[in-house]
Copies of this chain bind each other. A is one copy, B any other.
Amino acid sequence: MTETMPNWLKKRADLSPNREALIFEGNTYTFKQVFEKAKSYAAKLGAISLNRGETAAVLFSNQAESVFILYALQMAGIRTVILNNRLTSEELSWQLGDSEAKVLLYETRFNDKVSEINYDIRNISSDEWSQLQEKTVTILEEYNLDEVTTIMYTSGTTGNPKGVMQTYGNHWWSANASALNLGLHEHDKWLCTVPIFHISGYSILMRSQIYGMPVILHSSFEEKKVIEDIRKYQVTVMSVVSTMLRRVLAELGSEKLPVSFRCMLLGGGPAPLPLLEACLDKDIPVFQTYGMTETSSQFATLSPEYSIQRLGSAGKALFPNQIRIVDSDEQDIPQGAEGEILVKGPNVTIGYLNRPDVTADKIRDKWLHTGDIGYLDSEGFLYVLDRRSDLIISGGENIYPAEIEGVLLSHPGVSDAGVIGASDEKWQQVPVAFIVKSDPDISEDALLALCEEKLAKYKLPKKFYFVEDLPRNAAKKLLRRKLREWLEAEGDAIGH
């Protein structure tokens, strides 16, 4: 049965109008204020003829205004393509074209980037936006849980990025699953320093509306400010990746966080033992999670009491969720053995935008084939061994080697290319490239220049290794594990 429920923000403004909803750079907005803001922004959508069911793209940084516009689009029933603001104009152009977005709303600071977009789309900067007249617009009274509200692009093993469709229901269930796991306290406040264009940040906004919980939003991650605001606002929960957690701990020095702080929700791969021990030492509860854009954030979580004992585990699937580990014939594998991780649950995407082929291939019988490799131990705890397509996670950003390899291979002087992640103290991982030359004169500089033109900065290889041949199996599949062995032999010290 298709479930509907009341417009979240409107309902929240009705239930707890005076509760704090958003705190950004010293300004506090109640749910009533956020709703009024978002409603007046929704009324501007009329001025640019954006209508229910149509698609808009947004290019924003973490700002209060960005939140209001995201909420306005959600309330108006506009599908929203949330763009990663670190992408190049070329990458953005591709996603805009693929999504068939009608309008691009962007923050004026991204003027230069937008001016270079090579796709014919109506652009409206935040400066122009503020000048728009409000027209009457109908905000949704109810959300249909089966309807798509957001689209976020992810890359994959091969080919172009794909738009992951997230429904109202996906976000709803994700927020509920998280609450059933972490609990829900009257005084919860969630600190968001991760990008709201990623599901990690966007899901915090959804929880805010659904729980009636304030979000303390930072425009970027700065450990000093993090500690300051955790203390000032009595923050109880924060979403982090290892590198952020390490920096917070370093900044804390011999001090501690307030006792009211109750959860570091850690994504982007398992934390190393010394980091977990340091957290234990400071009474900072770390909840390690496994999730992805396709699962609308957290899918499995490890409770802090297991963090040392089950080192490297991402815990168990949240209450509404299920995990299977299968072999290449899609047969379940006994506990302890490695295989592909399949996930199922009401927070799993309904599919990829305009890609019924990929959707049918990846989601079978409601089970999403993640491409990630892992196993379940004897008590059912999940261990993720390899992220899908040898995903590199650098400072919380997902980097797909295949995408970088594609750019490198487009150079006429390159006959083969392989990219892997090298461990890095600051970013956790950084991409490095192995190159087989066809033109002996090709230089590292030339390759880097090409990458800079095509790829967001965080995706640029930090080092190039020129080799005779790349390790490939009989089916010519690149053996990235072999490359990692080579790298280890090199000292695994790139970027240190």
Contacts and interface: CB of A to CB of B under 8 A. Distances in A.
A183 to B, nearest CB: 5
Interface of A: 1-6, 11-12, 14-15, 142, 145-146, 169, 173, 176, 179-180, 183-186, 210-212, 316, 319-322, 345-346, 350, 366, 380
A213 B316 CA distance: 18
A346 B169 CA distance: 13
Contacts of A11: 319
A31 to B, nearest CB: 12
Contacts of A179: 179-180, 184
24 contacts: A1-B2, A1-B169, A1-B350, A3-B169, A3-B173, A3-B346, A4-B366, A5-B320, A5-B321, A5-B346, A6-B319, A6-B321, A11-B319, A12-B319, A14-B316, A15-B319, A142-B322, A176-B176, A176-B180, A180-B184, A180-B211, A180-B212, A183-B183, A210-B319
A183 B180 contact: no
A6 B345 CA distance: 9
Contacts of A14: 316, 380
Nearest to A181: B15
A348 B145 CA distance: 16
A236 to B, nearest CB: 12
Nearest to A319: B11
Contacts of A2: 1
B1 A322 contact: no
Contacts of A316: 14-15
A146 B320 CA distance: 15
B210 A180 contact: yes
A366 to B, nearest CB: 8
A346 B5 CA distance: 8
B6 A322 contact: yes
Contacts of A4: 366
Given A179-B179, A180-B179, A180-B210, A6 B186 contact: no
Name the residue in A145, A176, A322, A346 with the highest tally of chain B Cβ atoms < 10 Å from its Cβ. Answer: A176
A9 to B, nearest CB: 12
Contact of A185 (B176, B183, B346): B183
Contacts of A176: 176, 180
Nearest to A344: B4
A115 B445 CA distance: 92
Given A14-B316, A142-B322, 8 more contacts: A4-B366, A5-B320, A12-B319, A14-B380, A15-B316, A176-B176, A179-B179, A183-B186
Contacts of A185: 183, 185
A346 B345 CA distance: 18
A458 B142 CA distance: 42
A305 to B, nearest CB: 11
Contacts of A184: 179-180, 183-184
Contacts of A1: 2, 145-146, 169, 350
Nearest to A320: B5
List the 9 closest pairs (A to B, CB-CB), nearest first. A184-B184, A5-B320, A183-B184, A3-B346, A1-B146, A176-B176, A183-B186, A6-B322, A15-B316
A361 to B, nearest CB: 20
Nearest to A172: B320
A198 B169 CA distance: 30
A200 to B, nearest CB: 22
A359 to B, nearest CB: 14
A316 B14 CA distance: 9
Contacts of A169: 1, 3
A1 B2 CA distance: 5
Nearest to A316: B15
A288 to B, nearest CB: 15
A414 to B, nearest CB: 45
Contacts of A15: 316, 319
Contacts of A380: 14
A346 B145 CA distance: 11
B183 A5 contact: no
Contacts of A350: 1
A340 B142 CA distance: 22
B183 A320 contact: no
A7 to B, nearest CB: 10
